[in-house]
Each structure stands twice: as C-alpha cells, then as structure tokens.
Structure 1
Amino acid sequence: MEVNYLFDIFLESLTDSAKMIPLLLISYVGIELVEYKYANKIRGMVQKAGAAGPAIGALTGSFPQCGMSVVASVLYSQRLVTTGTLLAVYLSTSDEAIPVILSQPESIKIIVPLLITKIIIALIGGYTVDFVFRKSNKETLVHIKAYAEGSDNKHHNHEIILEKKACCGHSTSPSSVEFNHKEIILHPIVHTAKVFIFIFSFSFAISFAIAQMGEEAFKNLFLGSSVFQPFLVALFGLIPNCAASVAITMLYLKGAITYGSTIAGLCTSVGLGLLVLFKEEKGKKNVLIILLLLFGISVLAGYIIQYIFIEFIPKLKLFL
C-alpha cells in the first residue's frame, strides 16, 4: 500500500514536471539568443554607466539567469562599476525564477509584479548604497570615465571578463565569439534537464510532505506568516546554486511561503555571482560588506512587503 502511495506521488510529480520541459527549453533558447545578440552591448552599457550604474544595473540584472551577476562581479573587481551598481544587479537578479514561472502558464501573471518589485528594490538599494559610499566611489568613477574615453591604463586587462563562465559552464559574453551551436542549443538542453531535475525533486518532496503532514502543517514547517520567514528564506537564497531560486519559486507557487519572503529570497539568489566575487575581489572585507548589504536590503524589503500584504492591504480593503 505504501509503495503504491509513493508511486502515485512520484508519477504525479514526474508528469507535472515533464509538462514544463517544452516551455523551459523554449525560454532558455530565447534567453541564449538574446544573450548572443546583445550581451556585449549590455556589458558595455553597465561598465560605462558611471553614476547612472544602479539604474542600468537594475534593468539589466532583471534579465533571467545569473550571467549578469557574474559579469557585474568581475566588473566590480576591476573597478568598472560602483558598489551600488553591483548590488542593483544582484538585487534585481532572479536566477531561475522567471523560466520556472514561465513553464507554468497559470502563474505567468505574477512575473510583471515580481520584476517591477525587484527593480524598484534594486534602484532604491543601489542608489542608497552609492550615496553612502560616495567618497570611496570617487576613484571608481574616475576609472570608469577613463575607460569610457579610451584613456585607461594600457596595462589594465579588462577583457578577462570574457573568460568567465556562468551556470553550466556557458560564456558570460557569448556575442564575443562567432555563432556557436553548442552555446545556443546544447546549453539550453543541458540547463533544461538540470532545472527539470530540481523541479521534479522539489515537487516530489513538497507533495510527499503535504500528503504526510497536511497542508497547514506543511506551511507551519516554513513558519507560515512568521516574522522569521523572510529572514530564513533570504538566508537560503544566498546558496550559490540555481537550485535555491528554483526551490524558493516552487515553494511560493505551492503557497508555502509569502510574497514578501519570496522577494527576500530571490533578491539574495544571485547564482554564481557571489562565488565569482569572492574569487576575483582581492579585498575580502569588501566582499563581506557587500554580502551583508545584499542580505540586509533583501530582508528589509521582504519585511516591508510582508507588512504591506499582511497588514496594510487587508485593512485598506476593509476601509474601502
């Protein structure tokens, strides 16, 4: 009986997850083509943005996958973007959240509010950080200006960024080379398979837990609407792997975590960006400061949104 019970959950999770494969693959091929066509232009805009960096970083960072966070991390280590620009990219990045949502047509309506929310957080967070660090950013802005005008130190090798890899080993700047079928076709297939495994695993685990515990008990497992939930989800989002954003998105779509907690978790889910920053940035104190700022802004944003959705909006509805 128990075996049949587990098999039913397994089969249902496998079937539901398999239905997402075509849309996931289409999404990833589309993302790859856009990266191939515009990656260098986007990178150029970010590294020459200067004081306007947080705005451009917030917009470009919202593009799906962690490639932009990897690029921003290397640019920061080369002092071609400000601290606020780096954080704006990080905060607007959602890693795998958008493709996962796109693979479930009934949930597509939440994409625009999600992106707008994260872009606003990235703008406020990025410009606030640049204002606070305005003195230390002066040297960086001078360097960015010199680079943009072509008068940078000839010994500065900024093209190292072309050697960096994002998820599944694909280039962070695919438009720097000739059309590569491996990048455009093979990588989306590999990435789709990888994300499918994550989705299936989480879906099976969630379905099994709900069947065993009941829906309410399952939600309580994630602290329900507790004030601790955004903090814990943001902490989970710091895991430098696309599995984190997949899990957070799946938990939200299953109703296990709140919108505020989801935003907090996805704001810290920058994929491999943090690993690249830790590797490339010589000043480890700077890495720690950026990590704390990323976590702090994400948690604060999550709590504010949590309050708006749980406290303010219900009261507003009653008033109206």
Structure 2
Amino acid sequence: MEINSLFDIFLEALIDSAKMIPLLLISYVGIELVEYKYANKIREAVQKAGVFGPAVGAVTGSFPQCGISVVASALYTQRLTTIGTLLAVYLSTSDEAIPVILSQPDKAEIIVPLVITKIIIAIIGGYAVDFAFRKSNKETLAHIKAYAEGSDNKQHNHEIILEEKACCGHSASPSSVEFNPKEIILHPIIHTAKVFVFILSVSFAINFAIAQMGEEAFENLFLGSSVFQPFLVALFGLIPNCAASVAITMLYLKGAITYGSVIAGLCASGGLGLLVLFKEEKDKKDVLSILLLLFGISVSAGYVIQYIIY
C-alpha cells in the first residue's frame, strides 16, 4: 500500500474519532457527576441487597460507571454480596460501550435494547447461579445481615472496599461528602483521551483491513457466518481492560459482528472488576469458577439471541 493511501486511511480514522471527543467528554462528565452523588448509595444497595442481590446488581450494573464492577468484586471478596449478585453486575455492566455509542448519535437507538437485553440476562443468570450455590450462600447472607445490623465481627476491615481503584487511578467509590475537582473534571478528561486512543486504533485497524481485503473478506475475518463468532467475542470480552469493550462496540457499529456476538462480548466484559477479583480473592478455584460461569452465561446468551431470537 502506498504511503499516501496509508496516511489517508489514518486521517479518515483520526477525523471520525475526533468527532466523537465532545460527546464522549460530555458523557463522562455526566457519569462522573451522577457517580459523585449516588456512588455510595449504589454500593450500599448492592451490599444490603441480600437475596434480592441479582436484581439489584443487574440494575445498578447497567449504569455506565467504571467503578461498579470493582466495588462488586471487592464486596464479594469480603462476602458482603452473593456470587449471583457479583455475576449479575458483571453481566449487566457494559464498561465503555454506552459512552462510545452515545458519541455517535445516529447509533443511539440501540442503547435501550442493548441495556434491557443485558439486564434480563443478568437477572436470569444471577438468580440461576444463586440457586445453584444456595447452600454456600447461606453463610454469605448471614454475614450480610450481621454487617447490616452492626453485629459483624469487629476484626473484619470492610472499609477496604473504599480503597479500590478503577480506571486511571479513579476512586471506585467516591464519597459525596466533599466535592473533588480532580475526580469530577480531571478523570473524565483523562478517560476521554484514553478511550479516544482506543477508538482511533480500532477505527484505523478496521479501515486498513477493509482497504486491504475488501468488506466481504473483512466480515469473513471475524467469522460473520460462523457459529464460533459469539464464542470468540466473549473470550475477547474477558480481557480486563476497557479497550476490550471499546473494540467490541466499534466492531458491532461497523457491522463486523452480530448482535448476539456483541451481547456475548459485553456480558463477558467485567472490566477491572476481574482484576480486583484476581487480586483480592484468596480462593483461586472460586475465581476460576466465576470466570467459567461468566463466560458460559455470556456465550449461551449470545447464541440464544443469535440463533433463536433473530
């Protein structure tokens, strides 16, 4: 490929990506303000939900804040939430998907069905898992009740959940007691720049691939007509980084992957919450079980949507 053509492809990707910056920044500032006001209430709702955890986790997880999966993981490692609640949060959270879609107003109509689909999957998956683990959940539910009543073991240091960090060193559970300009203003700017780089990289790669091989061959590259696509996209979604959800969303918006596949990928995309789970959970077999359940539910949901509903 000629240098000029390569530059033209990069320039096109740069212009298209730059157009998204203002709406991305507005979205992240809005998310930050809501997080500032309600983050602790959201955390407390998940923490105190008990047997209603999967429903509460599914709804709260659907809000596009980067810290909810981190907080849910921290709560689970201290047994202040059930395994079904944790999975419900993972399944319903979309990481960067919603802000990326909002930055392209002509695509905004897909947000509501996407969010509703993921909430339904999260509720069904969360309650199914809690039912399967009902015996081991009894101790967790008793612990949640004791903590809520103030009769928990005083040696348990649950305040550590407030120390967990989400992306860009951002506090996972910002307190609404004091206004913090760094959290409210600086973090959205940093996060917008970070996501812009991801979007630019993915857009350039997609445009370059299409220019090199043509649209039909590009679609075949992602196994568009193959039964394996939801499986592979869900596997990619397990990468604990917001780049995964950005790439999955961009591929869907470009028409490279199906609706069933984007659901599978975004359901599996637990973001940095997965890293917190790896770091804080001492029982690594438990971590593996959670990952397998997350992957299995995500893939199953993707296939149901792709081959039965559509």
Q: TM-score range by the shorter chain?
A: over 0.9
Letter in 2 for 1:78: Q
Letter in 2 for 1:199: I
Once the two structures are overlaid, the 10-residue window that deviates more, 241-250 or 57-66, is 57-66
Note the C-alpha offset of 1:10: 1.1
Describe how 1:217-296 pairs up with structure 2 within 5 A: 217-296=217-296
Aligned partner of 1:298 in structure 2 is: 298
| Sequence identity percentage | 86
State the SS of the aligned residue for 1:174: coil
Distance 1:67 1:149 in 2: 26
Note the C-alpha offset of 1:225: 2.7
Note the C-alpha offset of 1:145: 0.6
Note the C-alpha offset of 1:275: 0.6
Letter in 1 for 2:162: L
Aligned partner of 1:144 in structure 2 is: 144
Note the C-alpha offset of 1:271: 0.9
Letter in 1 for 2:239: I
Aligned partner of 2:204 in structure 1 is: 204
- Judge conservation of contact 1:118–1:267 (CA < 8 Å) in 2: yes
1:250-272 CA-partner distances (Å, limit 9, x unpaired): 00000000000000000011110
Aligned partner of 1:111 in structure 2 is: 111
Letter in 2 for 1:35: E
Aligned partner of 2:50 in structure 1 is: 50
Note the C-alpha offset of 1:176: 5.3
Aligned partner of 1:99 in structure 2 is: 99
State the SS of the aligned residue for 2:81: coil
- Judge conservation of contact 1:66–1:273 (CA < 8 Å) in 2: no
Q: Which runs of at least 4 in structure 1 moved beyond 3 Å after TM superposition?
A: none
Note the C-alpha offset of 1:186: 0.4
Pairing 1:21–2:21 present: yes
Once the two structures are overlaid, the 10-residue window that deviates more, 85-94 or 4-13, is 4-13
Aligned partner of 1:82 in structure 2 is: 82
Distance 2:87 2:256 in 1: 28
Letter in 2 for 1:206: I
Unaligned runs of 5+ in 1: 311-320
Note the C-alpha offset of 1:7: 1.4
1:209-255 CA-partner distances (Å, limit 9, x unpaired): 11111101000000013110000000000011100000000000000
- Judge conservation of contact 1:35–1:175 (CA < 8 Å) in 2: no
- Judge conservation of contact 2:37–2:176 (CA < 8 Å) in 1: no
Alignment root-mean-square deviation, CA: 1.0
Residue 118 to residue 34, structure 1, CA distance change in 2 (3 Å): same
Q: Normalising by structure 1, what TM-score? A: 0.95
- Judge conservation of contact 1:198–1:243 (CA < 8 Å) in 2: yes
Q: How many residues align?
A: 310
- Judge conservation of contact 1:66–1:270 (CA < 8 Å) in 2: no
Letter in 2 for 1:216: E
Residue 299 to residue 174, structure 1, CA distance change in 2 (3 Å): same
Distance 2:225 2:246 in 1: 21
Aligned partner of 2:8 in structure 1 is: 8
Distance 1:200 1:309 in 2: 33
- Judge conservation of contact 1:225–1:257 (CA < 8 Å) in 2: no
Note the C-alpha offset of 1:151: 1.4
Aligned partner of 1:161 in structure 2 is: 161
Aligned partner of 1:34 in structure 2 is: 34
- Judge conservation of contact 1:225–1:258 (CA < 8 Å) in 2: no
Distance 2:54 2:309 in 1: 27
Letter in 2 for 1:274: L
Distance 2:81 2:104 in 1: 36
Distance 2:2 2:285 in 1: 53
Aligned partner of 2:69 in structure 1 is: 69
Q: Normalising by structure 2, what TM-score? A: 0.98
- Judge conservation of contact 1:78–1:158 (CA < 8 Å) in 2: yes
- Judge conservation of contact 2:35–2:65 (CA < 8 Å) in 1: no
Letter in 1 for 2:183: E
State the SS of the aligned residue for 2:59: helix
- Judge conservation of contact 2:9–2:204 (CA < 8 Å) in 1: yes
Distance 1:297 1:62 in 2: 17
